[in-house]
Amino acid sequence: MFFLDHIWLIPLFPAFGAAMMFFFGRKLQKAAVSAVCVGVVVLAFLWACGAVIQYNAWQVAPEHYHQPFQKILYTWLGSDTGHLTYTTHNGTQADFRADAGFLLDPLSAIWLLFVTGVGMLIHIYSIGYMGHEGGYYRFFGYLNLFMFSMLTLVLGNNYAVLFVGWEGVGLCSYLLIGFYFHRKSASDAANKAFIVNRIGDAGFLLGMFTLAWYFGSLRFTDINHLARSGQFQMGDPVLTAAALLLFVGACGKSAQLPLYVWLPDAMEGPTPVSALIHAATMVTAGVYMVARSNAIFVLAPNAMKTVAIVGALTAIFAASIGLVQNDIKRVLAYSTVSQLGYMFLALGVGAFAAGVFHVFTHSFFKALLFLGSGSVIHAMSGEQDMRNMGDLHRRTPITHWTMFIATLAIAGIFPFAGFFSKDEILWQAWSSESGAYRLLWLIGVVTAFMTAFYMFRLMFLTFHGKPRMSHEVEHHIHESPNSMTMPLVVLAVCSVFAGWLGVPHSLGGSNRFEKFLEPVFAKEAAPLFRAEEPSQLAAGKKEEEHTNPAEYALMALSLGLAVAGWGLAWKVYRNADKGYVEPMAAKVPPVYTAMLNKYYVDEAYDYVFTGRRKVGSVRLGAMGLGEASSWFDARIVDGTVNGAGWMTRAFSTLSMWWDKWIIDGLLVNGPAIVARMLSYPVKLIQWGLVQWYALIMVLGLLGFMAAEMGILVWFGWIAVGVLAAIVAYFVVRLIGRRAEKSRGASAAAGAAGAGD
């Protein structure tokens, strides 16, 4: 159990390589870089082989029969003290925990093997391909980091660890697509890949949260156990939502409609990157995740229908674009998108094993195609446009023959690998749910024809026909070095024989592949995780032991269409000379132009989602939102602020007026004015004459006396008369005094102040 117990070392080997490159890469020789980085991946592959072999032996023991092997190192997220409890959908308390755990079951074993295997071959190839490039250590460091992330993704035992790997491969994809960062197109493509991936990641995260909330745990074993326990109904809305959200993540990572736009642009990266990441491994992460969540998808038939429809549409859409592309890598990129569509079609109709089988075989022949195209580009001194190639088959024989084998495989010609896997998918699409998916089968069949056609078009334009390249390039054509051709040969061998692992019963095989995957994909929502006898397992399988004659008919049909595609391509492109004309361009120019321009999807995204270009005078999308926000801020928010300022000033003016005229004028000065006006008659009493004051006193005394005495006696009348005379005398005296004063003041100004 040594390899199995130390399964956690498998991702750490390439992580070590990446760390070495990070710290010491710049100072190392190229040979040292190659030795370290390729060596760790070889080590990882060997270790993976050991682990899978040991797992096979381990899982037949009755106490853990067909159970996945788990190894938990430590609790990464969550605590043992119960601080991260949360309430699930039915009110129970769940403890959030995501361990640094590793899980090995047949599904992850398959991925482990081909990721490390194909990765190893591509690392070896890169020694030759990147040998003359700058940034050698950086390239291998990033490749190793990618291997670490991908292996984390595949080996994780819960969604959180899977997501770590998911994000890691997205990051490495960005770093590697933008490897030639001096080129703007490359860095733009890297940004595009990461951003579109991120959109998918948002859906993935939401799906993950839904699952955590619904199941109370993120571990695959817990979720599968609960999902298969019969607690949940078919078509459960929360599960449908979670499945669809996870599928959004898969669309982003595995380039399905509408999030496929990054993959063709990702061809800006070096060819080994395209082979590893965008053909064999990263783009299959979405398929892995959906396959891993099959317990949830099985409970959500609407989600599965969506997966199947999106897969089928993507397949035919991308294939139609690939028919007319002129860049050799673009054709292969669209072919990848199309084949991924096939895989999702398989998963959607419920044929999980068939989808995984296609992933397995596709990784070999697609990696081979990309590496071969890299070899061609290497031979053509960097030329990638097929219009300028031709007649290479004699000059680069190994490349030619290996790519030919891969083309046969992808076209689905018997007995190469692609035939078995693609045929299985098409048969499942035809027969699942008693023919509900026949339309999707039709789409798949048409796509198969297109696939054969454009792949053989690629072969004929590149390797046959008349040479269309310039003379200097023609001089330099040479076969690639051994480090590059050896992986091509190995992959070609795999492309021939890998399909034989999954020969269906109808052709006399035992379909070992599907049987191997049985513990992972329980067809019904029946608890398959209790230890059961092998015979019971066989009974739980679909009862397709006797073959349907329709299967042979369909097999013949798809084979015939593949050969027809080959034949058509041979007829059209066999003798392609300089300035050859595409038949579609001649006959239906508008269709041709639309396909050549990828149906203007990128431009549509420019208008609608990014807002890089205006629609009329309005800018939509993210930049349009920015424009709208800035307009809002400048006009409305600032306008409000300015308005508030204006209002303050208006109010203050009003206050000033109120204060000046009403408060000061009316209320403060007013009483003063009134008092002054009222005092005019009153102050006449104060003449400054002392004797007048004394007179008033006497009058008062008399009045007092009269009141006491009650009646006025004759004495009083005399007194009144006398006093009236005195008053009259005073008035005369006062007037005289006033006149005298004014005369005195005007006449004698000299004696001022004292003086009479």
Tokens at 621, concatenated: 């999308």
Which of residues 63 and 756 has its CB atom nearest to other proteins in the complex? 756
Which of residues 537 and 695 has its CB atom nearest to other proteins in the complex? 695
To other proteins, the closest distance from the beta carbon of 745 in angstroms equals 14
59-to-67, 68, 82, 229, 520 alpha-carbon distances in Å: 6, 8, 33, 22, 13
Residues, the chain, total? 756
Stretch near other proteins under the rule CB under 8 A, chosen from 50-58, 183-191, 230-238, 726-734: 726-734
Return the residue of 588, 694, 709, 728 that touches other proteins, per CB under 8 A. 694
Element spanning 531, H or E: none
Stretch near other proteins under the rule CB under 8 A, chosen from 52-60, 144-152, 285-293, 718-726: 718-726
- Backbone φ/ψ region at 630: left (φ over 0), alpha (ψ -120 to 50), beta: alpha
**Nearest alpha-carbon partner for 285 in 336, 249, 337:** 249
Range 528-587, binding other proteins (CB under 8 A): none
To other proteins, the closest distance from the beta carbon of 722 in angstroms equals 7
Return the residue of 737, 739, 742, 745 that touches other proteins, per CB under 8 A. 737
Q: Find all residues with CB under 8 Å of 216, minimum gap 6, and list them.
A: 88, 92, 94, 222
Q: Chain centroid to CA 693: how far?
A: 105
Q: Find all residues with CB under 8 Å of 445, minimum gap 6, and list them.
A: 426, 557, 558, 561
Tokens at 720, concatenated: 């009144």
Q: d(Cα 22, Cα 15) in Å, to the nearest integer?
A: 10
Which of residues 404 and 730 has its CB atom nearest to other proteins in the complex? 730
Under rule CB under 8 A, residue 80 binds other proteins: no
Stretch near other proteins under the rule CB under 8 A, chosen from 16-24, 333-341, 703-711, 727-735: 727-735
Considering only CA atoms, give the Rg of the chain: 47
**Nearest alpha-carbon partner for 244 in 306, 197, 155:** 306
Q: d(Cα 304, Cα 703) in Å, to the nearest integer?
A: 120
Which of residues 615 and 696 has its CB atom nearest to other proteins in the complex? 696
Return the residue of 134, 681, 688, 750 that touches other proteins, per CB under 8 A. 688
Stretch near other proteins under the rule CB under 8 A, chosen from 84-92, 433-441, 456-464, 719-727: 719-727
Under rule CB under 8 A, residue 756 binds other proteins: yes
Under rule CB under 8 A, residue 750 binds other proteins: no
Range 107-146, binding other proteins (CB under 8 A): none
Place of tokens 């159970």: 67
To other proteins, the closest distance from the beta carbon of 661 in angstroms equals 31
Instruction: Please tell me what DSSP assigns to residue 95.
Output: E
Under rule CB under 8 A, residue 436 binds other proteins: no
Under rule CB under 8 A, residue 717 binds other proteins: no
Under rule CB under 8 A, residue 641 binds other proteins: no
Q: d(Cα 55, Cα 176) in Å, to the nearest integer?
A: 34
Q: d(Cα 105, Cα 59) in Å, to the nearest integer?
A: 9
Return the residue of 185, 691, 712, 732 that touches other proteins, per CB under 8 A. 691
Under rule CB under 8 A, residue 754 binds other proteins: yes
To other proteins, the closest distance from the beta carbon of 708 in angstroms equals 17
Under rule CB under 8 A, residue 591 binds other proteins: no
Return the residue of 643, 729, 731, 735 that touches other proteins, per CB under 8 A. 729
Binding site for other proteins (CB under 8 A): 683-684, 686-691, 694-695, 698, 719, 722, 726, 729-730, 733, 737, 754-756
